[in-house]
């Protein structure tokens, strides 16, 4: 369930007047992330007793919470973190248009009169854009927050790119679309942080498996794209798919943005884990979120003095409550809270008086943490080191950019501020590069992840064009190939990948890469011996390899990174990956132009090398685990 605080103020005229500027309700609204809607009048004046009959008609958080919890109890989703569930539930609405577009995209470019070499140049420009995007991705993720970075650059890099691809007939318009699509690397870092932060290693494997599963669900519907292309022709059909993709993705990204688990961290508080609360017919509700392992205090330190909880009507100071007491004399805890560290306090609706929380002054110059976990300090900047981040660090504020243990006031001059930002970004990347080569297992993991990045650009670029023009598969038939591959991968992600123990991930990855090498080799045989069962076997094995490759490589890479520097290390890794993969498109284009089957021979050799790398990495990880066990003994 969403972790943001949900506070409903329901009462008589005392509650209504509390919305005025400076009054208690207005201050409560200002201290929370979400604003409040206030409904007054229209029901027998302001009589609280009669107004209580309205309560059963109001929507409750629990109604949506039960739906979310019931969906989250599905076998694949049960062991995910919250954001893993969000990514999995919304993923199909991204993957459906994406898979329909990507099957015919290279053929679409060639049909527009763009040559194979120009397609390779286009891919190189796209990769160059990704390099520059990777340079700033970690910094942007830390400075502006994961969710804001994801929604902004997702809209630019997918719907924006789709429009250029659909409306342009020249290589130049396609390149503009490619440049927009290349900045999606900014999204990748923030998105990976959302999937991995506040998730254990087993949860990360299930998160990645679920997310890659949803990316493949859209592949089951590629026959829709095949039907559109068959009915309207390759160029017009692909344009229809691109325009519909822009509309669907814009809607999906907007909905997903509202579902992310957000943090309201503060330096003195812990991450909030609030859950919605049921709304009984005779009670008003106030959510009070607790921190990791301890209850949020109901007082605020301000200038060395505590600001207590007071009564709005009488002004009397409420007595300090014990550990197990709530805000009102009579309270209940909602029995379906999604987090054991969250308490939903249900206070009696009083017909005459209303209790409120007097919040600390948040004007400039004041500092401290409010009872709701909101950081009221002024903006601070990091002195040296890695860019600001809340990755796995309890009680930090991503919006304020607070990290580390040493802080200073933000520079007041624009020039000094820009210098500090540049030093922070480059310092974080430099530290990440040093970390990547610090140990032998890290170097092998880096090589493995970089090899996969090169492969996923190199091998698919002319895959479907090869099947149509060289092997002899029809335009509609190639959509069935994509559907078969997606179906195979989905079965693997549902039935096999979740059962792989974390300690066996490197070995399972090696086996999957070897299977992929066999599948790609069969494509070479199909050039001269087109046989449908042979093609089906190649598709089956390729689907198995894809199911194993991406989630397991992502899991290994995420586990090797440091939580407190995850964003900058993800960004630094993708700078290196993009540099290594930069010639992938041009190399595939030149090989395909020379001998159509040659890119797949090279891809098979790549998979064999990566399988060996994964096996060696597993050997080193086993040795490290054994040393750790011996040390504990």
Average pLDDT of the residues in 100-104: 93
**pLDDT at site 429:** 75
Q: What is the dihedral of CA 591, 597, 601, 604, to 10 degrees?
A: 110
Q: What is the mean pLDDT of residues 582-586?
A: 91
Mean pLDDT of all residues in 53-77: 52
Nearest to 175, CA basis, from 116, 132, 238, 126: 126
Mean pLDDT of 143-159: 93
pLDDT tens sequence across 269-308: 333 333 333 333 333 333 333 333 333 333 333 344 444 4
The reported pTM is: 0.58
**Would you state the pLDDT for residue 248?**
96
Q: What is the pLDDT of residue 245?
A: 96
Using CA atoms, how far apart are residues 272 and 581, in angstroms rounded to an integer?
Answer: 40
Encode pLDDT of 324-337 as tens digits: 333 333 233 333 33
Give CA–CA dist 421/133, Å, rounded.
Answer: 16
- Residue 283 · residue 329 · CB < 8 Å: no
Phi and psi at residue 268, to the nearest 5°: -100, -5
What's residue 204's pLDDT?
80
Mean pLDDT of the chain: 71
Residues 421 and 139 sit within 8 Å (Cβ to Cβ):
yes
Of 473, 488, 476, 539, nearest in space to 225 by CA: 476
Q: Note the Cα 528 to chain centre separation in Å.
A: 44
Instruction: Please tell me the predicted confidence (pLDDT) of residue 517.
Output: 96
Q: How confident is the model at residue 493 (pLDDT cuts 50, 70, 90)?
A: confident
pLDDT tens digits for range 220-243? 899 999 999 999 999 999 999 999
Residues 193/148, Cβ–Cβ less than 8 Å: no
Report the range of poorest mean pLDDT among 20-34, 43-57, 318-332, 549-563. Answer: 318-332
Closest CA to 58 of 35, 34, 33, 39: 39
> Is residue 513 within 8 Å of 549, Cβ to Cβ?
yes
Q: What percent of the chain has pLDDT over 90?
A: 34
pLDDT of residue 572: 82
State whether the Cα torsion 293-382-559-157 is positive or negative: positive
CA of 8: how far to CAs of 16, 60, 276, 338, 346, in Å?
Answer: 12, 10, 11, 19, 11
Q: Which domains does the chain have, with CATH numbers?
A: 75-264+432-632 (1.20.1250.20)
């Amino acid at each position: 369930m969403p972790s943001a605080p949900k506070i409903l103020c329901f009462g008589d005229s005392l509650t209504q007047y509390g919305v005025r500027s400076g009054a208690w309700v207005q201050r409560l609204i200002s201290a929370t992330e979400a604003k409040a809607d206030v409904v007054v009048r229209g029901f027998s004046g302001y009589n609280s007793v009669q107004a209580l009959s309205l309560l059963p008609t109001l929507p409750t958080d629990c109604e949506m919470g039960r739906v979310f919890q019931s969906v989250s109890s599905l076998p694949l989703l049960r062991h995910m973190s919250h954001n893993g569930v969000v990514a999995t539930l919304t993923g199909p609405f991204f993957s459906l248009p994406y898979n329909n577009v990507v099957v015919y995209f290279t053929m679409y470019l060639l049909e527009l009169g763009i040559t194979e070499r120009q397609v390779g140049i286009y891919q190189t420009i796209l990769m160059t854009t990704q390099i520059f995007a990777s340079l700033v991705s970690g910094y942007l993720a830390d400075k502006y927050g994961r969710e804001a970075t994801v929604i902004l650059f997702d809209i630019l890099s997918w719907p924006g790119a789709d429009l250029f691809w659909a409306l342009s007939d020249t290589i130049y318009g396609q390149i503009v679309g490619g440049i927009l699509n290349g900045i999606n690397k900014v999204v990748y870092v923030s998105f990976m942080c959302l999937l991995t932060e506040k998730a254990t290693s087993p949860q990360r494997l299930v998160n990645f498996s679920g997310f890659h599963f949803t990316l493949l669900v859209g592949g089951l519907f590629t026959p829709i794209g095949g039907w559109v292309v068959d009915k309207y022709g390759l160029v017009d059909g692909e344009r229809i798919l691109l325009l519909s993709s822009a509309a669907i993705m814009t809607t999906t990204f907007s909905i997903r943005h509202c579902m992310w688990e957000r943090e309201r961290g503060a330096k003195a508080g812990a991450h909030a884990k609030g859950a919605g609360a049921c709304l009984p017919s005779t009670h008003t509700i106030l959510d009070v979120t607790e921190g990791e392992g301890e209850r949020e205090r109901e007082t605020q330190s301000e200038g060395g003095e505590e600001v207590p909880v007071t009564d709005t009507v009488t002004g009397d100071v409420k007595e300090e409550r014990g550990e197990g007491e709530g805000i009102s004399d009579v309270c209940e805890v909602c029995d379906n809270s999604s987090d054991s560290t969250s308490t939903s306090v249900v206070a009696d609706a009083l017909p005459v008086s209303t209790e409120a929380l007097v919040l600390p002054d948040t004007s400039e110059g004041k500092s401290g943490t409010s009872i709701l976990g909101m950081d009221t300090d002024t903006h601070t900047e990091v002195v040296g080191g890695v860019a600001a981040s809340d990755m796995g660090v309890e009680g930090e504020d991503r919006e304020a950019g607070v990290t580390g243990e040493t802080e200073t006031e933000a520079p007041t001059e624009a020039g000094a501020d820009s210098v500090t930002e540049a030093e922070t970004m480059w310092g974080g990347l430099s530290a990440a590069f040093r970390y990547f080569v610090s140990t032998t297992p890290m170097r092998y993991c880096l090589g493995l992840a970089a090899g996969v990045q090169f492969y996923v650009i190199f091998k698919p670029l002319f895959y479907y064009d090869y099947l149509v023009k060289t092997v002899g598969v029809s335009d509609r038939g190639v959509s069935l190939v994509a559907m078969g591959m997606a179906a195979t991968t989905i079965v693997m992600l549902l039935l096999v990948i979740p059962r792989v123990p974390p300690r066996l991930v490197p070995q399972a990855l090696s086996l999957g890469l070897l299977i992929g090498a066999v599948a790609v080799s069969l494509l070479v045989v199909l050039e001269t011996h087109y046989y449908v069962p042979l093609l089906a076997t190649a598709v089956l094995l390729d689907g198995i390899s894809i199911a194993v490759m991406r989630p397991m490589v992502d899991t290994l890479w995420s586990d090797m990174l440091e939580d407190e520097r995850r964003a900058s290390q993800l960004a630094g890794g993708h700078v290196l990956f993009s540099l290594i993969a930069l010639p992938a498109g041009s190399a595939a284009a030149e090989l395909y132009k020379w001998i159509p089957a040659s890119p797949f021979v090279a891809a098979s050799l790549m998979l064999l090398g990566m399988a060996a790398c994964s096996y060696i990495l597993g050997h080193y990880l086993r040795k490290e685990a054994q040393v750790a066990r011996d040390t504990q003994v």
